[in-house]
Amino acid sequence: MFCQKVHLMLVSMTKIRVITGVACLLFSLSLTSLQSLTTTKNGGQADTLKYPRTFGFGRTATLKEIAILDTDVRPDGKGLPAGSGKATEGKLVYAAKCSACHGATGVEGPNDQLVTIKNPTDPKVKVRNKTIGNYWPYATTIFDYIKRAMPFNQPGSLTDQEVYNLTAFLLHENGLIKAADIINANTLPKVVMPARDFFVPDDRKDGPEIR
C-alpha cells in the first residue's frame, strides 16, 4: 500500500527529476515485490523490509544430513523407501513388538485400537472406536508413523522391511488388502482408505457463526 503511493507520487513528478524518479521507482518496485512476497493478513512483515537480503547466519545443509532426518512419507508416496512387505510376515512382527500395547488382534488394547471389529457380538460395543480401517484417510500415514514413533518403548528401532510388513498386516486385518498383496512404494499410496472422503477442510470462519 505504502509503496503504491510512493509509486504514484513519483509518476507525477516533473521531467526535470525523471532520472531520480526512475531510480526511486525501481527501488519502489523492488520493495513492492518483496512486500507482496512476505506480507500477510496480520501485516506481520512490514518491519522486515529493512532486513538485509541475507544475514549470513547458519550454514548450508548437506544432502547427507538431510537424508538422515528426512524419513517422512507423503500421501503420493514421496519418501517411501525401497523394499516391500506382506501381511503374513507382518503378523509375526506384530505379535512380537506390537501386541503388548495394541492387543492380540489389534482390537483389545490397552492402547489405541488399530483394527475395526468386523462383527461385534457384544451388544455393549456401541462406541465406534477410531481405527486405521474406519478413520485413517491415507495408507501412507501408517508407514510414516510406525517408522518414526513405534514401538512406543523402542521408537525408531524397526527396519524398513519390518515397517512394510507391519503396514501390510494392519491393512489386511482391516480388510483393505488381500493376504497375498505386496505393499511397496508403488502400491501403498494406491490403497483406498474408506474414510478418505469423510475428511473436509476447516469450515469455521471469523464471525458469529457457530460451527
Partner 1 sequence: MPDQKGDKPLENGKKISRRTLLGGAATAAVVLAQTASGKSFQAALTKSELHLLEDPTKVPGVPPGTLGTRSPFEKPVKAPSDISSRTPLQDLFGTITPSDLHFERNHNGVPAIDPAKYELIIHGMVDKPMVFTLADLKRFPSVSRIAFLECSGNYRGAADGKITPQQLCGLTSQSEWTGVKLSTLFREVGVSPKSTWFLAEGGDAAVMTRSVPVEKGWDDAIICYAQNSEAIRPEQGYPVRLFLPGWEGNINVKWLRRIELSDQPFQTRQETSKYTEAIGGGKIRQFSFTIDARSIITYPSYPQKVEKGWIEIRGIAWSGRGKVVRVEVSTDAGKTWKPAELQGPVMDKSHTAFRYLWNWNGQSTEILSRTVDETGYVQPFLKDLLAARGGNMGYHYNPVTAWYIQNDGQVLFKAT
Residues that bind partner 1 (CB under 8 A): 37-42, 44-45, 48, 51, 53-55, 57-61, 65-66, 69-70, 72-76, 130, 132, 135-138, 140-141, 144-145, 148-149, 152, 155-156, 195, 198-204, 206-211
DSSP string, 88-153: HHHHHHHHHHTHHHH-TTSSS-SS---S--SS---TT--S----TTTT-S-THHHHHHHHHH-STT
What does the alpha-carbon distance between residue 105 and residue 176 come to, in Å, rounded to a whole number?
A: 15
Min CB(68)–partner 1 separation in Å:
10
Reading the block at residue 11, the C-alpha cell is 509518476
Any idea which residue has 469423510 for its cell?
A: 198
User: If we measure between CA atoms, which residue out of 56, 23, 50, 55 comes closest to residue 34?
Assistant: 50
Measured between alpha carbons, how far apart are the two ends of the chain, in Å?
34
What does the alpha-carbon distance between residue 100 and residue 106 come to, in Å, rounded to a whole number?
A: 10
Min CB(55)–partner 1 separation in Å:
6
Min CB(11)–partner 1 separation in Å:
27
* Closest to partner 1 by CB, 65 or 178: 65
Min CB(63)–partner 1 separation in Å:
8
* Closest to partner 1 by CB, 15 or 205: 205
Min CB(118)–partner 1 separation in Å:
20
Min CB(96)–partner 1 separation in Å:
20
Say if residue 155 is preceded by a cis peptide, omega within 30 of 0.
Answer: no
What does the alpha-carbon distance between residue 166 and residue 163 come to, in Å, rounded to a whole number?
A: 5
* Closest to partner 1 by CB, 25 or 194: 194
* Closest to partner 1 by CB, 23 or 43: 43
* Closest to partner 1 by CB, 45 or 184: 45
Q: Is 48 helix (H, G, I), strand (E, B) or coil?
A: helix
Any idea which residue has 544432502 for its cell?
A: 63
* Closest to partner 1 by CB, 12 or 197: 197
